[in-house]
Amino acid sequence: MDDSPSVTVEAVAQLSLRVQSVVYNIDRERMTRWVGALADALAQARPLLARVEVAVVDSAAEAVLDQAWRDAVAPRLTAAGVDEFELVRSERNLGHGGGQNFLLGDRLPDRLLVLNPDAFVAHDLVAEIVRASTADGVGVVEGRQLPFEHPRDYDLRTGDTSWASGACMLISGDVISAVGLFDDESFFMHGDDVDLSWRARQAGFRVIACPEALVFHDKRLGRGGHYEAPEAEVYHSAHSALMLRWKYSRPDLIEDVIGTLMRSPDPVVRRAIADWEATRDAGRLPVPIDADHQVGQFVDGAYALHRF
């Protein structure tokens, strides 16, 4: 993807990698398979890495994953060369960004791989995505999702793109040092990846897509070929649409987006708008950044130019 010479084993051999996933009401068997796929990918990449950690948080009120499950799957990770495998529970549902922040704590790995529990990695994903992350200036790398690619455009030559999806994103330790991880005050489970990507870019890091790093994201389509988002996703998607425009200094777009959202027949969307407006009225919105609009992109309702 990049003009720089191929990365040598020695160049990445000093890197530590931490893989984190936030689980909420997941199928236990499915999660076991997720571990299997991840273990295969880590085993292949392990010679390239100095240390590997895996951490999972179960945020559901009634956790599906327990110690017995951990004990059952841990040998797969151990055999793959994983140095530490954590399974923790959170007292409440922290959301995606909050769960990731909770898992990371004050650790600072060289690379943090954020992975959805319904995202099954290819056997060479870890090697590919870590390799891509060592190119000049790269702070965040995104894997390519299958069977439905994200429509966001990226530079075919360099991979540069507006933002990276949190379904499978690799974040460098330098980015975390510079801008922190997810803004879980503003975003619960949607838009936090866009926000982190834009803050990384604002700090001078590149955000790139790595088409060679494949991840199978278990998405289903409803009748008519439409993606039928669950209620929580509809709510937080609408909420983050407003929050991103506010945070990235585009109050001029907020009325338009509210008008568009209000045309939705879904009451969940109206609730999201009301909640956001209540936060605004209470003066609890974040301080806007990117005043000169260097990183925030709002194109036809999306946060990047889309290919289709």
Partner 1 sequence: MSEGRYKFNYDDDGPYGLAVRLTTAHRHAGVHLDLGCGFGAIAEPLRDAGVDYVGADADPEGLASLVERGFGTASIDLLDMRGTEAAIRSALGGRPIGSISLLDVIEHLPDGDDLLVLLRRLADETSAPLVVSVPNVTHRDLAAKLLLARWDYTSTGLLDRTHLVHHTEGFLTSRLAGAGWQCREVMDFELNDSDQHFPADLPTLNRSTSVGLFLSMLRESAAAHASTNQFVRVYEPATPFITNVAAAASTDADPLFTVVMRTQGKRMAALKEVLLCLRGQTIDDFELRLMVHRATDADAAAVEALIQALPADLAGRTHVSRFEEGGRARPLNEGLAAARGSYVVCLDDDDLVLAHWLETFQGLAKDHPGRVLRAVAVSQQVTGTQSTDGYTSHRATGPVVPEYLEDFDVVRHLDLSTTPLMGWAFPITAYRDLGLRFDESLDVCEDWDYELRTLLLCGVAPTHEITCVYRRWLGVETSGTIHGVDDWQHARAVIRERLDNHPALLPAGWLSAIDRNTDKRTQELDRYAAKLELDIAELKGYGKNLESRLAEVEGDRSSLKARVGEVESDIVELERQNAALERQHTDRVSALGDLNSSVARGFRYINRSLRRAGALVRHLRRHTG
Looking at 97-105, 188-196, 222-230, 278-286, which segment touches partner 1 (CB under 8 A)?
Answer: 222-230
Distance (Å) of CA 281 to CA 192, 214, 253, 267: 22, 43, 18, 21
Q: Which of 148, 274, 294, 301 binds partner 1 (CB under 8 A)?
A: 148
Is 273 in a helix, a strand, or coil?
Answer: helix
* Minimum distance from residue 189 beta carbon to partner 1 (Å): 21
In which element (H, E) is residue 183 found? none
146 binds partner 1 (CB under 8 A): yes
**Are β-strands 111-115 and 168-172 bridged in parallel, bridged antiparallel, or unpaired?**
antiparallel
Let me know: does 132 contact 213? Beta carbons within 8 Å: yes
* Minimum distance from residue 240 beta carbon to partner 1 (Å): 22
| Partners of 207 in the β-ladder | 140
Q: List helix spans (H) across 84-172.
A: 95-104, 125-133
Looking at 36-44, 54-62, 161-169, 250-258, which segment touches partner 1 (CB under 8 A)?
Answer: 36-44
Q: Which of 7, 16, 32, 36 binds partner 1 (CB under 8 A)?
A: 36
* Minimum distance from residue 69 beta carbon to partner 1 (Å): 18
The Cα 19–Cα 33 span in angstroms is 16
* Minimum distance from residue 75 beta carbon to partner 1 (Å): 14
Please list every residue from 103 through 122 that binds partner 1, using CB under 8 A.
120, 122
Structure tokens at 21: 């996933």
221 binds partner 1 (CB under 8 A): yes
**Are β-strands 119-121 and 206-217 bridged in parallel, bridged antiparallel, or unpaired?**
antiparallel
Triad 177, 216, 88: Cα angle to 5°: 50
Cis omega before residue 147 (within 30°)?
yes
Looking at 30-38, 168-176, 246-254, 269-277, which segment touches partner 1 (CB under 8 A)?
Answer: 30-38
The neighbour count for residue 79, using CB atoms within 10 Å, is 11
* Minimum distance from residue 71 beta carbon to partner 1 (Å): 20
Residue with tokens 């040092």: 177
Looking at the Cβ atoms of 6 and 67, the one nearer to partner 1 is 6
The Cα 246–Cα 257 span in angstroms is 11
Looking at the Cβ atoms of 84 and 228, the one nearer to partner 1 is 228
Q: What are phi and psi of 247, to 5 degrees?
A: -65, -30
Q: Which of 28, 30, 284, 293 binds partner 1 (CB under 8 A)?
A: 30
Looking at the Cβ atoms of 23 and 295, the one nearer to partner 1 is 23
* Minimum distance from residue 229 beta carbon to partner 1 (Å): 15
230 binds partner 1 (CB under 8 A): no
Nearest residue to 170 (alpha-carbon basis) of 121, 231, 220, 225: 121
Looking at the Cβ atoms of 110 and 128, the one nearer to partner 1 is 128
Residues that bind partner 1 (CB under 8 A): 1, 3, 6, 30, 36-37, 40, 120, 122-124, 144, 146-149, 151, 156-157, 211-212, 214, 216, 218-225, 307-308
